Homo-oligomer: A and B are copies of this chain.
Amino acid sequence: MRTEVVTATLAEVTEKGYDGLTVDAVAARSGVHKATLYRRWGGVDGLVAEALTASADQPWPLPDTGDLAGDLRLITREVFAVFTDPDLGPTPTALIAAAQRSDTGATALRAFFTARHRQAATVAERAIERGELPAGTDGAEVVRAATAPLYYRLFVSGEPLDARTAERAADAAALAARAGLFAPEAD
């Protein structure tokens, strides 16, 4: 049932946005009874949160090029590719915008990004093992540094995002990490 509900929520929020999202439409689309949706998820904000939780749970293959900058470039290239793709981009874009509209959604959004950062931090941990980065480097922070310039354009400044920007953000984060900026010693 959860899969049907999440799929229906994603389709509805992509087509209609948060303002057009209703429990009725998710019920009709998923085939799950409205009363069940309200009982289990409380309303549209709970449905948006569930969709984010389901996204965070999905396996997400991490690059392993043997080089931090190479791995970070593949991560930022993936963010760039997904969000700027006319078919793939609208759903995560609508989901993030919808999540920002309620406390329930915002809490799920923060948990989603924290989980993603923690997962992707593996590329920094491997770099520490290779001796490419100082021990104690905050891997999640390296990932945030690499991806923040992309999300900043996509969701805050609205300025255009291109492949070169994505690559440069990865290179800048790798450079800062190698210089020890994300290690405790830098304090």
Contact = CB atoms under 8 A, between A and B. Distances in A.
A-B interface, 6 closest residue pairs, ranked by CB to CB distance from nearest: A172-B176, A113-B157, A148-B152, A110-B158, A148-B149, A148-B148
Contact of A171 (B110, B151, B157, B176): B176
Nearest to A97: B100
A156 B106 contact: no
A156 B173 CA distance: 19
Interface residues of A, number: 38
- Per DSSP, chain A at the interface is helix
Interface of A: 96-97, 100, 106-107, 109-110, 113-114, 117, 141, 144-145, 147-149, 151-153, 155-159, 164-165, 168-169, 171-173, 175-176, 179, 181-182, 186-187
Given A172-B181, A181-B171, A182-B168, A151 B156 contact: yes
Given A145-B172, A155-B156, 10 more contacts: A110-B157, A110-B158, A113-B156, A141-B168, A144-B149, A144-B159, A145-B149, A145-B169, A168-B176, A175-B176
Contacts of A181: 168, 171-172, 175
A107 B110 CA distance: 26
**Copies per complex of this chain:** 2
Nearest to A171: B181
A187 B171 contact: no
10 contacts: A97-B100, A100-B155, A106-B158, A113-B156, A145-B149, A145-B172, A147-B152, A155-B156, A172-B173, A175-B181
A153 B156 CA distance: 11
